[in-house]
Structure 1
Amino acid sequence: MDFTYNVELITAALDYAELNMVKYEGIEKVVIFEVAIKLDETDEHTKMLKEFKKGLDLFFNLKNLSPKLVDLTVEEKEGIGFIRFYRDIHTVDIAELDMFINFSNYYLNSSLIKDDYPNYSILNNSYLKKNILEQAIKTPESDYLVYRHKGKVVVYNS
């Protein structure tokens, strides 16, 4: 896949209010899609991840694909869960992103932190903002391409 497709895919991903982050790691050629959820005792995100993995396996079998990288992680910070979907940019399909969003909406709808709920915005939290800025300053990468699309910011590390 070429650079133009990569930019189009990532820009299209920004139209999803459910996505908290879209990141392209230029060196590793990995795209990361992230949703944020309010964590509770129901543990619905575990069920969502299990079912999403099954759906991805079926999708890859039907499309006869062998992706280089497929990974899902969950990170917790201050009662907020960050579910990240990692894919290699060369074999990722926009249908996978649609599936990730649909599974997130189906299993996590009441706990999803969406762009259209400004009261839940992570960037309203000054502590988190400060930590994000400190981490950005400390990172060894010095080449970034940053742009804004419909209120969201895209950062390319190169």
Structure 2
Amino acid sequence: MQSMTVTSPAETMQLGQQLAKLVQPGDLILLDGDLGAGKTTFTKGLAAGLGIDRNVKSPTFTLIREYQQGRLPLYHMDVYRLEDGGAEDLGLEEYFDGDGVSVVEWSQFIADILPSDYLRIGLSRSGTDDDQRTITLTPKGARYQQLVAQLEG
């Protein structure tokens, strides 16, 4: 587990851009944090790093937004509305096994269908500064341990 502190939304996006250089088809990134913690801001950085120039918005009401025009497709999922179940019927596994990068916000609501390997990124407010966040990277599996090591290097 690796933790860091960022002090602005721009720094959160920059971390996403750095990660975008390293991701491969089929990678799964879980974003956990309270409302307003920076999950979509991080995803905007990831999208920019992949070369996606469309505006990235939280897919709270659509559940999944697909962005195809970058180095890799980006599948941005917000599964908050699946708190009471129903994830099994959405075919999310097809995205997880697909040719792009899957980013899942509120992943705890689909924990029972997640693959065993992924990178969990926790974002939480820290300190008294409204823009300060603690970002924690928790890799599960050798692929994601390597990814975090490359990110640190």
TM-score above 0.5? no
Computing the radius of gyration from Cα coordinates, the structure with the larger value is 1
Q: Which has the higher helix share?
A: 1
